[in-house]
């Protein structure tokens, strides 16, 4: 059985739409979004062009590789810089938990979108034409792509629909919107708990991240899927004992704080909790039913 991958990695030429499509896709799939060009700029406290001007285009590629190798996230859309596929280690790293999608725009479309080729912060040789760059990088994008989606003559919505259609046939397993909502709520509660109890400021520690990922796996196997009430009202309780205890402790601590910190999420969770939990008969015969605690 193929390994489930939880991230979507967008690659492609500058102007192919990685950042804009990434945001739209993140909204459609209720995932988080990361733009690695922004990570590089935050890491270096310089724009991409300033890095090239001061240290050269190869330095930018090395910095990019380091930033990509540090990415450790799940359930994210990651828009990479156009030069990401020059690094084999970085692409291998991203591909371990990510489906790699090549946003393919043809040369005339790209030329019509890029008007600042020389100052855009592209990691290219100083003498390299746009055509040369396109030819060189197209080979690399095709090499690493799990999925290729054409973007030249498509609207953003059409590109997103195409991606979602192709993801259905890939080892990527997105949560449905109801399950995603539950997952986001659990994650927010774990973060509140972790920041307070494990002295983490704006991140979740490794141990708590394990619980977050465990809860995601449980949701993926949830026999009730879209019909589920909140896990707290479930008649099955598919969590194994130690994880169940951890999650109860966290809910007790973070639950009362949610209304203040995440009022919309708290209200939606309250509405979800009012749903009558389905009984065992509701999922009898469902091939995805897994009642054993794992």
Residues 253-272 that bind ligand SF4 (CB under 6 A): none
- Check residue 105 for interaction with ligand SF4 (CB under 6 A): no
Binding region for ligand SF4 (CB under 6 A) out of 71-79, 164-172, 205-213, 232-240: 232-240
Nearer to ligand SF4, 131 or 293 (CB): 293
Structure tokens at 130: 């746009």
* Residue closer to ligand SF4, measured from CB, 130 or 239: 239
# of chain residues touching ligand SF4 (CB under 6 A) = 12
130 to 169: interface string for ligand SF4, x by CB under 6 A: ----------------------------------------
Give the residue, chosen from 23, 234, 243, 265, that forms a contact with ligand SF4 under the rule CB under 6 A: 234
Q: What would the x/- binding string for ligand SF4 be over residues 82 to 101, using CB under 6 A?
A: --------------------
Contact status: 238 vs ligand SF4 (CB under 6 A): yes
Residue 219 in contact with ligand SF4, rule: CB under 6 A: yes
Residue 208 within binding range of ligand SF4, rule CB under 6 A: no
Q: Quick one: which of 57, 61, 216, 228 contacts ligand SF4 (CB under 6 A)?
A: 228
Which of residues 84, 140, 231, 254 is near ligand SF4 by CB under 6 A? 231
Sign of CA dihedral 130, 84, 28, 225: positive
Span near ligand SF4 by CB under 6 A; candidates 30-38, 46-54, 195-203, 227-235: 227-235
Alpha-carbon span 126 to 192, nearest angstrom: 48
Q: Choose which of 218, 246, 262, 269 interacts with ligand SF4 (CB under 6 A).
A: 218
For ligand SF4, the binding residue among 40, 123, 236, 250 (CB under 6 A) is 236
How far, in Å, CA of 194 to CA of 205, rounded?
A: 7
Residue 224 sits in the site that holds ligand SF4 (CB under 6 A) = yes
Return the ∠ at Cα 218 (arms to 214 and 221), rounded to 5°.
Answer: 145
HEC profile of the chain: CCCCECEEEEECCCCCCHHHHHHHHHHHHCCEEEEHHHHHHHHHCCCHHHHHHHHCHHHHHHHHHHHHHCCCCCCEEEECCCCHHHCHHHHHHHHHCEEEEEEECCHHHHHHHCCCCCCCCCCCCCCCCHHHHHHHHHHHHHHHCCEEEECCCCCHHHHHHHHHHHHCCCCECCCCHHHHHHHHHHHHHHHHHHHHHCCCCCCCCHHHHHHHHHHHHHHHCCCCHHHCCCHHHCCCCCCCHHHHHHHHHHHHHHHHHHHHHCHHHHHHHHHHHCCCCCCHHHHCCCCCCCCCCC
* Part of the chain binding ligand SF4 (CB under 6 A), chosen from 4-12, 122-130, 193-201, 218-226: 218-226
Assess 237 for contact with ligand SF4 (CB under 6 A).
yes
Per CB under 6 A, 222 contacts ligand SF4: yes
Task: Tell me, rounded to whole angstroms, the distance of Cα 294 from its chain centroid.
Answer: 25
Nearer to ligand SF4, 56 or 278 (CB): 278
Using CB under 6 A as the criterion, which residues of the chain lie in contact with ligand SF4 when the complex forms?
218-219, 222-224, 228, 231, 234, 236-239
């Amino acid at each position: 059985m193929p390994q489930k991958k939880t991230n979507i990695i967008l690659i492609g030429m500058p102007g192919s739409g990685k950042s804009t499509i990434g945001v739209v896709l993140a909204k459609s799939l209720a995932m988080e979004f990361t733009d690695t060009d922004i990570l590089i700029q935050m890491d270096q406290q310089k724009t991409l062009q300033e890095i090239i001007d001061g240290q050269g285009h190869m330095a930018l590629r090395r910095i990019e590789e380091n930033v990509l190798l540090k990415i450790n996230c799940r359930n994210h859309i990651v828009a990479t810089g156009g030069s990401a596929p020059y690094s084999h280690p970085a692409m291998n790293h991203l591909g371990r938990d990510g489906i790699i999608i090549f946003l393919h725009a043809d040369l005339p479309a790209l030329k019509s979108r890029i008007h600042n080729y020389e100052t855009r912060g592209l990691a290219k040789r100083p003498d390299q034409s746009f055509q040369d760059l396109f030819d060189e990088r197209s080979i690399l994008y095709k090499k690493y792509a799990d999925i290729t989606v054409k973007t030249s003559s498509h609207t953003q919505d059409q590109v997103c629909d195409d991606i979602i259609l192709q993801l259905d046939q890939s080892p990527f397993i997105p949560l449905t919107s109801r399950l995603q909502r539950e997952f986001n709520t659990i994650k927010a509660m774990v973060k509140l708990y972790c920041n307070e109890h494990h002295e983490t400021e704006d991140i979740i520690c490794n141990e708590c991240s394990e619980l977050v990922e465990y809860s995601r796996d449980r949701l993926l196997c949830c026999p009730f899927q879209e019909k589920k009430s909140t896990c707290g009202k479930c008649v099955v309780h598919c969590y194994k004992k130690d994880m169940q205890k951890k999650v109860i402790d966290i809910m007790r601590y973070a639950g009362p704080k949610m209304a203040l910190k995440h009022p919309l999420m708290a209200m939606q969770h309250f509405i979800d909790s009012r749903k009558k939990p389905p009984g065992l008969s509701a999922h009898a015969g469902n091939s995805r039913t897994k009642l054993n605690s794992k």
